[in-house]
Amino acid sequence: MRTRGWSLSAKLPPGRHNLTRAQVAADQRSRMLTALGEVMQVKGFAGTTVADITERAKVSKQTFYEHYDSKQACFLDAYARIHHRVSEAAGTLPAKATPMDVFSAVLTNYLDTLARDPAMARVYLIEVYAAGPEALHARMQLQQRTVDGVQGVFGIDTEEGRFACRALVAAIASLVTHELADSDSGDVRSLHAPLLALAARLFDA
């Protein structure tokens, strides 16, 4: 049974085609990334095997190892693509707005993106903890970039303000992760109003 929500690419149509070798390779890679996310919805990172991925993606193990040297390498590629997708959505900002307007828009886009694809969101925020130190390092780097972004939005230039930014980003990550772990729907959008209120209190905005 195909799980709902996760998709990084459409599958090539059956039969002959005029695609280049590079295009075929890109399609294979995207199918494996999609399969990884779908299997992990059921089995988690630790329980997912290369055989699970190749069976669901309908590729051979040889094809898998032409692209990735391990399950973790496949996960890290998926994680990087998910980060790019979320960053693109969060980067859609109003042209003229107050700092709170900008933060609200970024938060809305971020939560909407996660809510539309709960499988992707769970990999992005939960399974990363099981994927080893390299994946955790990537998550820490992402969180620091998010802190830097919040500092820029609110024009923070004090140590106290920077700590408040770190606390806000940590609260967002923790609450979203908790919601995804406890909810079948994965709808995190209900967090928008309380998180916006928290930001207003932290920055007197």
* Structure letter (DSSP) for residue 190: G
| Amino acid of residue 203 | F
Q: Please identify, among 29, 48, 71, the residue that sits at the C-terminal boundary of a domain.
A: 71
46 and 126 share one domain = no
43 and 58 share one domain = yes
Q: For residues 19 and 12, is the Cβ–Cβ distance under 8 A?
A: yes
Q: Please give the Cα distance from 195 to 178 (Å, whole number).
A: 14
Written as six digits, the tokens of 26 are 């890109």
Could you tell me the CATH number of the domain that includes residue 155? 1.10.357.10
Q: What is the pLDDT of residue 186?
A: 55
Place of tokens 């919805």: 41
Low-confidence ranges of the chain (pLDDT < 70): 1-17, 89-95, 183-186, 205
Could you tell me the CATH number of the domain that includes residue 63? 1.10.10.60
The sign of the dihedral angle between the CA atoms of 147, 151, 157, 159 is negative
Q: Please give the Cα distance from 120 to 80 (Å, whole number).
A: 12
169 and 105 share one domain = yes
Q: What is the pLDDT of residue 160?
A: 95
Q: What is the pLDDT of residue 90?
A: 64
Q: CB atoms < 10 A from the CB of 178, how many?
A: 14
Q: What is the pLDDT of residue 63?
A: 96
| Number of domains present in the structure of the chain | 2
Cβ within 8 Å of residue 190, ≥6 positions away: 179
Q: Please identify, among 71, 93, 110, the residue that sits at the C-terminal boundary of a domain.
A: 71
Q: Please identify, among 71, 95, 129, the residue that sits at the C-terminal boundary of a domain.
A: 71
User: Nearest Cα to 85, choosing from 52, 55, 109?
Assistant: 109
50 and 114 share one domain = no
Q: What is the pLDDT of residue 113?
A: 85
